[in-house]
Structure 1
Amino acid sequence: MKQWTFLFACLLSLFCSAYAQDLEPTLDAWLTAKYPAEGPGAAALVARGGEVLYHKAFGMANLELDVPMRTDMVFRIASISKQFTAICILMLAERGQLSLDDDLIEYLPDYPTEGQHISLRHLLTHTSGISRSFTLNPWDANIRRHDFSPKEFIDYFKIEPKSFAPGEYYQYNNFGYFLLGHIVELVSGMSYGDFVAQNIFEPLGMTNSYEAHDTDLVKNRAYGYEFYGTYENKTYVSPSQALGAGSLMSTVEDLHRWYRGLLSGKLVSQESLDLAFTNHIRNDGEKINYGFGWFINEINGSPTVEHAGGDHGFRVDALYLPDEEVFVAVFSNCSCGEPRPLSTKIAALAIGKPYTEPTLVAAQAEEIGRWVGKYTFADGSSRRVTLKDDQLYWALPNGTERAMGPLSNHQFVLENTFTHIDFRMENDSLIYVEVKNRISLKTSTKPYTPRYEIGLPETDLTKFVGRYQLFPEFHITIALDQGQLTAAGTGQDPLPIFPESPTRFFFKALDSHIDFLLDDMGDSVALEITQDGATYPGTRAEQGDKE
């Protein structure tokens, strides 16, 4: 029997060695193209079971000191920290120190739950309904740099209005995991960082993993960068505002140790781990594609548990495919170095199910322009589609825009993602959008009514030319050039506007329109510009050139 075991081990070792050699040239090419030698870099690791198939570094760890990236560099892992927080909660549950169905107010009695039962399970699955952003209190540069105690920060964000009833929707929420991190502290009597270190890092031999503090000296720490035309040092945000939502730092090798230790039962029972890896549901039974600290997804039919992380100066991603026992992690030290699409491609290749590149077509500008608008989804989130130079863009709430590559006049794929977008017409006027990202599927609930351009003679357009004052220091200038009206705000580039009626003009680049108001002589004397449901009136400040 020992001979067979030895033979199997040898064969497995030979297989892994050969497979690693097959992966290496492709992964080298992909990672070198993504993280060139002269810019911020990345560390990458691919493993099958306990066997490391690929472990390399690219680019620079510090641009100012010309320090090349190494595989043992330490990165902020941001939201990957959430899975550590979730396991801490499960550890405490197994020890009988808390229950997943405990009410939040059992630990924070003054938290304004409005009489609703918000459980730890709701917080773990992002279904609590607590606000996920600042709307009443500011979060400006000064606040970002401020060091809060956990209670102070909770008091600062807890006044924000609730978004929905607990369990009604899924909405990714950093505040929820901050609360969980503080609950770990309250129940254990230890700081969050000390609890994670003593109960996870030390037992698993994760000797290069820490709670992040910018003042600490950390050996082999990669420095973080941002890109705004040129590289800049990362913006400082106080680590005190992260806690259980994103306060940890680690290496790709230590994260592999984390998965190996977790899967071997060293930290929690198989029952608890299965719970963390379960695709949980909303009140209506709809799956949310999230477990406890992990997204639940798939790669070409193979299930994955995964999570990405983004912090000022860092972008990281790690995923595990349980059927194939394949682990992939790519960490980058630049906010510009989003690794998720690449790590997903790497994982697909590693399991022998590679993705094929989509075939883009030349879409007709007059056809794709009608998709410009704002689309609202059931969870209250929204996305905006804009048009610039005959190119559609998908705008995220944080202002980031991704180009939409046309697969047809109504089907698109977002640049550098696996997200497909399909626009649907109903009754020749109502537009819905269907968004599919691997396993997840969202359809907008609020229809968008497209606008259609009508023809107006140039003589009818000249009466709108002029300068209109909206605020003391802000004007809208309407100009006419070769039969095309444009509108430009103070300090902004002009954008073309198109007639929808004799007095209403719309933007194709924005979900916005302008209504011109005429006097008894038919001359334009004022305008109203409508955007995001708000209307701003402006009075004509000077006469335009009507020659």
Structure 2
Amino acid sequence: MKYFIKHSFIFGLILAVCCSLNTISAQSLDSKIDETILSEMKDLNGPGGTFMVSKKGKILYQKAFGKANIELDTNLTSDHVFQLGSMTKQFTAVAILMLEEQGKVKTSDAISKYIPDYPAGDKITLHHLLTHTSGIKDFTKMKALKDIAQKEMSPKMMVDFFKNEPVDFTPGEKFDYNNSGYVVLGHIIEVASGETYEDFIEKNIFQKIGMKKSSYATDRQIINKRAYGYQKKENGYVNKTIINYSVPFSSGALMSTLNDMLKWQEALKKNTLISAETANKAFSKYKLNNGEELKYGYGWHIREINGIPTREHGGSIFGYKTMGVYVPSLDVYVLGFTNCDCISPTQLIQNIAKLVLETETKN
């Protein structure tokens, strides 16, 4: 009996020490992440951001800094809604792959199959659009953009806006990040599915995986817990420049929250929306015509942090910036949103990811 009591006590002591060390480790990581964020966000009375770290679907860190609305002096919380900007491209790419599984499109299809009057459309494939290797003109670089920025544009009107511009290079010749390509993909989603892009994403992704606080962007409808967007000028902060979200469309017009984006990442990991084989197409590296390897799949940059493979993407739209890094081998997801395009979370999130990876590899 004494032997049992003695060894039970020792086991309990060891367990308590291990739990204590884990708690200290977690607290240490929390404080390091806080320091990393606060080194960039020095004005907590201005716009700020929300940040999250998860592992195996469980949240390890989630905090908000700064104001959701400066005029009303409202603090940001981790469930505020932000514009995603180009993180929208992930959803557009997966929507295309969903339609491919349904037999409605093929990534090898020429875009002329869906948009017959597109110049050189028989030489540009959906694959080229997905990987930013199409060579078509990026509408965000066109001077005439200011003329349509606040107009309600149909997908066809958006495609017509840039389709007759001279191509920058032969399809597959090089990688050049391109918003127009993803607008064309959104138009093709509508043609192939018979639904609007907004409805397709809502029904087939948001509703299916419970992303209840995510939607196609709007400035007119009331959005509960919307984080207001800001820009910084010489004299201080100003409300973001107004843009009609039909312009960025499927290249950058979705909005979401940290927790909803975790649901998205979990759905991707568990192959809820597309099969593992199909998902592999999104997360593979491809090659240019000359054999040079791209570090971009379909809607994600395929990169590394300290030699560990990652899937990354950011976003930027008037008043907002976003960044997400996923580490498949550790099932770690690091995400950050800011509500001023004067605060870029890109390097910040990469630095936080490095901190987490260093902690994980030590344990």
TM-score past 0.5 threshold: yes
In 2, Cα distance between equivalents of 1:325 and 1:68: 30
In 2, Cα distance between equivalents of 1:216 and 1:34: 32
CA shift for structure 1 position 290: 0.3
CA shift for structure 1 position 136: 7.2
Contact conserved, 2:325 with 2:333, CA < 8 A, in 1? yes
In 2, Cα distance between equivalents of 1:332 and 1:348: 20
SS in 1 for 2:145: coil
Contact conserved, 1:135 with 1:160, CA < 8 A, in 2? no
Alignment partner, residue 50 of structure 1? 57
Matched, 1:107 2:108: no
Q: What is the aligned length?
A: 343
Alignment partner, residue 264 of structure 2? 258
Q: How is 1:340-419 mapped onto 2 (pairs within 5 angstroms)?
A: 340-352=346-358
SS in 2 for 1:349: helix
Could you report, residue by residue, the CA deviation over 1:179-203 in whole angstroms, capped at 9, with x for unpaired residues?
A: 1011111111111111111111111
In 2, Cα distance between equivalents of 1:39 and 1:348: 27
Bigger helix fraction: 2
1:280 pairs, out of 283, 286, 310, with 286
Matched, 1:241 2:255: no
Matched, 1:162 2:160: no
Alignment partner, residue 298 of structure 2? 292
1:30 maps to amino acid:
T
2:68 maps to amino acid:
A
CA shift for structure 1 position 132: 1.3
Could you report, residue by residue, the CA deviation over 1:262-304 in whole angstroms, capped at 9, with x for unpaired residues?
A: 1101010101111101111111111121000000111010110
1:286 maps to amino acid:
E
In 1, Cα distance between equivalents of 2:122 and 2:302: 27
2:257 maps to amino acid:
T
CA shift for structure 1 position 96: 0.7
Alignment partner, residue 440 of structure 1? none
SS in 2 for 1:241: coil
In 2, Cα distance between equivalents of 1:160 and 1:81: 24
1:183 pairs, out of 188, 192, 202, with 188
SS in 1 for 2:255: strand
CA shift for structure 1 position 33: 3.2
Q: How is 1:142-161 mapped onto 2 (pairs within 5 angstroms)?
A: 142-161=147-166
Matched, 1:314 2:305: no
Unaligned ranges ≥5, structure 2: 1-17
1:68 pairs, out of 75, 88, 113, with 75
In 2, Cα distance between equivalents of 1:280 and 1:203: 30
Return closer, same or farther for 1:135/1:47 CA change in 2, 3 Å cut-off: closer
Matched, 1:209 2:214: yes
Return closer, same or farther for 1:138/1:290 CA change in 2, 3 Å cut-off: same
TM-score by length of 1: 0.60
SS in 2 for 1:239: coil
SS in 1 for 2:246: helix
2:343 pairs, out of 328, 337, 343, with 337
Return closer, same or farther for 1:106/1:55 CA change in 2, 3 Å cut-off: same
1:32 pairs, out of 30, 35, 38, with 38
Contact conserved, 1:103 with 1:117, CA < 8 A, in 2? yes
Could you report, residue by residue, the CA deviation over 1:111-132 in whole angstroms, capped at 9, with x for unpaired residues?
A: 111x751110110000111111
Contact conserved, 1:116 with 1:165, CA < 8 A, in 2? no
SS in 2 for 1:298: strand
SS in 2 for 1:307: strand
1:64 maps to amino acid:
E
Contact conserved, 1:297 with 1:305, CA < 8 A, in 2? yes
Q: Which has the higher contact order (CA 8 A, sep 6+)?
A: 2
In 2, Cα distance between equivalents of 1:135 and 1:234: 19
Could you report, residue by residue, the CA deviation over 1:319-351 in whole angstroms, capped at 9, with x for unpaired residues?
A: 101111110001000000100111001001101
TM-score by length of 2: 0.90
Return closer, same or farther for 1:134/1:41 CA change in 2, 3 Å cut-off: closer
Alignment partner, residue 204 of structure 2? 199
Alignment partner, residue 81 of structure 1? 88
SS in 1 for 2:337: strand
Q: For the pair shown, which has the larger CA radius of gyration, 1 or 2?
A: 1
In 1, Cα distance between equivalents of 2:119 and 2:261: 36
In 2, Cα distance between equivalents of 1:317 and 1:134: 20
In 2, Cα distance between equivalents of 1:325 and 1:244: 27
In 1, Cα distance between equivalents of 2:217 and 2:349: 24
Return closer, same or farther for 1:67/1:143 CA change in 2, 3 Å cut-off: same
SS in 2 for 1:145: coil
Alignment partner, residue 504 of structure 1? none
Alignment partner, residue 327 of structure 1? 333
CA shift for structure 1 position 236: 0.7
Contact conserved, 2:81 with 2:227, CA < 8 A, in 1? yes
SS in 1 for 2:149: helix
Contact conserved, 2:112 with 2:122, CA < 8 A, in 1? no
Return closer, same or farther for 1:13/1:71 CA change in 2, 3 Å cut-off: farther
Matched, 1:227 2:232: yes
In 2, Cα distance between equivalents of 1:100 and 1:57: 39
1:195 maps to amino acid:
F
Could you report, residue by residue, the CA deviation over 1:44-73 in whole angstroms, capped at 9, with x for unpaired residues?
A: 000111221100000000001100000000
2:97 pairs, out of 61, 77, 90, with 90
1:197 maps to amino acid:
E
Return closer, same or farther for 1:27/1:76 CA change in 2, 3 Å cut-off: same
Alignment partner, residue 119 of structure 1? 125
Contact conserved, 1:19 with 1:53, CA < 8 A, in 2? no
Q: Which runs of at least 4 in structure 1 moved beyond 4 Å after TM superposition? A: 12-19, 134-137
CA shift for structure 1 position 39: 1.1
Return closer, same or farther for 1:136/1:323 CA change in 2, 3 Å cut-off: closer
Q: How is 1:491-510 mapped onto 2 (pairs within 5 angstroms)?
A: none
SS in 1 for 2:53: strand
